[in-house]
Amino acid sequence: MKRAIALGVFDGLHKAHTAVLAACCDMGSAAGMTPAALLFPAHPMLLLRGEAPTKLLADNERDAMLRTMGLELLFVPFEEIHDLPPEEFFEEILIKRLNAGAVCCGYHYHFGKKAQGDAALLRKLCEQHSVQYHIVPKMEYQGQAISATRIRAALAEGRLADANAMLGRSFGYIMEVVEGAKIGRTLGAPTLNQVFQKGFCVPKYGVYGSEAFVQGQWRASITNIGLRPSVDKKLRLHSETHVPGYEGDLYGQSIPVRLLRFLREERKFQTIEELKQQIRMDIEAMKGV
């Protein structure tokens, strides 16, 4: 069976990405083709510049979301195609190897050696080979194109509302709960301690209104991301989430956490009592999220 293939670097699955993917699914359904997404095992920038941008979504989470949308995942190493002329990429990879009967991409899509191919060339090649195509127009937020770069910048600056608006969902992560120093328990606020993996996009240090998926349901929570300067002399980067009313043991489990609102910046308190008081205030602020 021929495939309808979504083209792009789907490194964050933000609203512009999902528009391309949804259009691909619609094309596949209408034409009786299998909808699929062309993916790279490693980000192209790793090969081109020696360093990949930080991830807005872990690969396994991205893949699960794509499969939920009904897409087949097609992995092609970027190093196999980055030196191919655009026409050769289209004919040898898309047509012959992947059996494309339709393709879908964003307005700014580029492909082939030195990104010489663009959406206009893709349209021309599709017409020459009787391949269906759909080019998704620019999607904007506050007058500028939605992009993973803008989302990373918004997260770094604590502009969580902007980041979530461009993502089309709440920014979050699924990470294993690890054993900590249990300091939160002494403060009346036990936490789920999680450690960010290398290469993941870490938001601005601070306290967030959040929700955690615990015991089969999303529960209101409060999350501190940072170095815990008031209690941790080793200054290790953590995500610590307090779920009011829950005191169970989740060590070793991978717990999803979603950030809903930036509450305040991380700061060092002079006394434990000051910290306790601030935690109580954060919990009250979280109730309005």
pLDDT of 264: 85
**How far is residue 116's CA from residue 89's CA, in Å, rounded to a whole number?**
11
**How far is residue 151's CA from residue 215's CA, in Å, rounded to a whole number?**
30
Token reading at 132: 């269906």
**Per-domain boundaries in the chain:** 3-145, 171-286
Token reading at 270: 């002079």
**How far is residue 75's CA from residue 81's CA, in Å, rounded to a whole number?**
12
pLDDT of 287: 62
3-state secondary structure of 38: strand
Q: Is CATH 2.40.30.30 the right assignment for the domain spanning 171-286?
A: yes
Predicted confidence band of residue 169 (pLDDT cuts 50, 70, 90): very high
- Does this model's pTM top 0.85? My answer is yes
DSSP summary character for residue 79: G
Give the pLDDT confidence of 100-147 residue by residue, as tens digits. Answer: 999 999 999 999 999 999 999 999 999 999 999 999 999 999 999 999
Give the mean pLDDT of 2-21: 96
Looking at domain 3-145, its CATH class is alpha beta
pLDDT at 35 over 90: yes
pLDDT of 229: 47
Give the pLDDT confidence of 218-238 residue by residue, as tens digits. Answer: 999 999 998 754 445 454 678
Beta strands in 78-216 (DSSP E): 100-106, 110-111, 117-118, 132-136, 140-141, 144-145, 172-178, 192-194, 206-214
Predicted confidence band of residue 183 (pLDDT cuts 50, 70, 90): low
**How far is residue 64's CA from residue 49's CA, in Å, rounded to a whole number?**
28
pLDDT of 286: 63
CA-nearest of 117, 69, 62 to 93 is: 117
Residue pointed to by tokens 């990373």: 152
